[in-house]
Every structure is written in C-alpha cells, then in structure tokens.
Amino acid sequence: MTDVLRQHAEHAFAAELAALAAQDDRPRPERWKLSPWAVATYLLGGELPDGTVVTPKYVGPRRVVEVAVTTLATDRALLLLGVPGTAKTWVSEHLAAAVSGDSTLLVQGTAGTPEEAVRYGWNYAQLLTNGPSREALVPSPLMRAMADGKIARVEELTRIPADVQDALITILSEKTLPVPELGGETQAVRGFNLIATANDRDRGVNELSSALRRRFNTVVLPLPGSLEEEVEIVTRRVGQLGRSLELPELPGGAEEIRRVVTVFRELRAGVTVDGRTKVKSPSGTLSTAEAISVVTNGMALAAHFGDGVLRAGDVAAGVIGAVVRDPAADQVVWREYVEGVLRERDGWKDFYRAARENAR
C-alpha cells in the first residue's frame, strides 16, 4: 500500500484506529468497530491512556462531531451540509472508517448519476443468458452496506437528479431495498446507516424533496472560526499531502500559509482581519480546501523550480487563480485589494510585488 497515492482513511490511520479499539471499553452499537466516544476521539484527536497520540482529523466545534456520531447510532441518516471546502467529504470518510472500518462504500453524486448507482444494476451477459437471478444482480454500494451492516456514503447528494434522490426514501424509511425482478428484497441489518454530503452554493444543484430531507439529521459544518484555526487546518493537511507526494518540508512554509489564509479570509469576509478596511468579495468561495491546494502547489514549485524555500512568488499565482474566477469582475476586486490593502501592509512587500507581477 506504500505506492498508493492516497490511502483510504482506514489504511492511512490504521495504527490509531487499532490503538483506540484496544483501549475502548465503552458500549458499541452492533457492528461498530469503535464506541461513539472513541469515534469522536478519532476525529477530534487526543491522547490515550497508553500515551498514543491520536491526530485531529477535524478542527472545529466538538459538538458538531458529537451530534454527527450520535446520529449514526440512531435510525436517522446523516446529512453533512456546508459551503464548499468545509471538510464534508473528509469528515464523511473518517466517520465511515471509524464506525465500519470501510470508507469505500461510496456513491459519487453527479448530474448523470443513474438510479442503478443507488439501488442495483445487472450483469447483462448473465441476465440475457439465464434471466434475472441473484448471480446476475450487481449490488450498489448502498445495497452492500445494507447487507453487511456498514456505513454507506453519498457525495454531493444535491447534484444527483431529483428522481434518483428519491430512490433513497424507501431505503431510509423502511430500511429495505425491494428487488421486484426477483420477487424479493434486501433488508438492512444493524450497523447500516448513510452519510450524505451536500452544499447549496454550486451551480447545478437539485433541491432535496421534503420527504427525503425528513429522513436526514442535518449537521452544518461551519467555516473555520478564526485565523489561527484555519492556519492549523491548512498546515496539517499540507504536511500530510506533502509527505504523500514526497515533497520536502520547506523553509518559509509557515509564513506563506498564514499569508494565503489571511488573504482568503479577508476577501471571503469582505473586511480586513483588523476590521479597519472593507474590501469587495470575489465570486469564488475561497475555501480552506482551495488554500490547501494553493500552498501545496507552491511547495511543488519551490521544490522543483525554486531555491528550496517557499516564497511569496510560489503561492501568488495560485492565490490569483483561486480569486479570479470571473475574468472581468474578479480581476477588479483583486486589483483593488492588492493596491488598497497589500500595498501598505507591513512585511508584505514581497507578496505585493509577486501579486502584481503574476496579475500582468
């Protein structure tokens, strides 16, 4: 597994999960690998009695994680809602890994997701040869999760067409998936539940019906509450990505991460961090995930084409690419911000020059 570019959570953090399981003496719902307390500890981090340090997977309000974990222990499905870049997919994956030891039972929502991806399909060679049978049936990830008592995941639920979304209603309300072609059904066993993620900021969103929304307990994942919190998130994820991509740890990283996060937060909020200057906000979301991408790309530039030090010039182009999505309106917003805010900011002359040069 060492050659895999991105390991599943249950493999990447196998040692932490094993340590938690070994020391977890609290009640566990049936077929859960860990107790709800241990699942929350896995996501939020902490030190175990034997000295094992569990790294935080999510930096944010503890209550958000506790409500999400508790929901999975009931008969209600979990909907993680938030603007793009608030770690919905990340939290979903780690919850499934901690609860079921398997985060791969996944349906990726798109405008073209068919109903078969939610229910089941057929092996048409066998279907034509032998007719409908269990051998010809191709179960969806949800169907497999129901039969095995595991957590299934549906990413970008609101991108899925409404008629396909509604195929979930029977699964979530009756805990069964009818297979009329075989005159039977697949019933969910204990341990089964569903985690869905959604946001309402992207184009191409299909609103959930009230009938489907009632089957979910909705947990809203907020944007990081403070500059320090967001810097910590970006620093941690950049370090993990850097190791997986075999990028060296570069001098200057901490300063440039703080700068990128500061720029993103100010443009997102429409005001500078000191509250003194109002700025216009661009059309993009400028999420924490985009900040992570900008810094990681800057590290690669510095490592392969620079002098081995992460500098303002290595991240400036990525920042501009994230900010300027609408070439007309966003370009004006960026120039006003550069000249009105960055130009006079102490200690930012190199970033100001890099921002001007890359904007030409």
Mean pLDDT of the chain: 92
What are 276-285's pLDDT values in tens digits?
999 999 988 8
Q: Residues 98-117: what's their mean pLDDT?
A: 95
Q: What is the 3-state secondary structure (H, E, C) of the chain?
A: CCCCCCCCHHHHCHHHHHHHHHHCCCCCCCCCCCCHHHHHHHHHCEECCCCCEECCCCCCCHHHHHHHHHHHCCCCEEEEECCCCCCHHHHHHHHHHHHHCCCCCEEECCCCCCHHHCCEEECHHHHHHHCCCCCCEEECHHHHHHHHCCEEEEECHHHCCHHHHCCHHHHHHHCEEEEHHHCEEEECCCCCEEEEEECCCCCCCCCCCHHHHCCEEEEECCCCCCHHHHHHHHHHHHHHHHHHCCCCCCCCHHHHHHHHHHHHHHHHHCECCCCCCECCCCCCCCCHHHHHHHHHHHHHHHHHHCCCCCCHHHHHHHHHHHHCCCCCHHHHHHHHHHHHCHHHCCCCHHHHHHHHHHHC
What are 114-159's pLDDT values in tens digits?
999 999 999 999 999 888 999 999 999 999 999 999 999 999 999 9
What are 58-101's pLDDT values in tens digits?
988 999 999 999 999 998 999 999 888 889 999 999 999 999 99
> pTM of the entire structure?
0.89
In this predicted structure, the answer to whether residue 1 has a pLDDT above a threshold of 80 is no
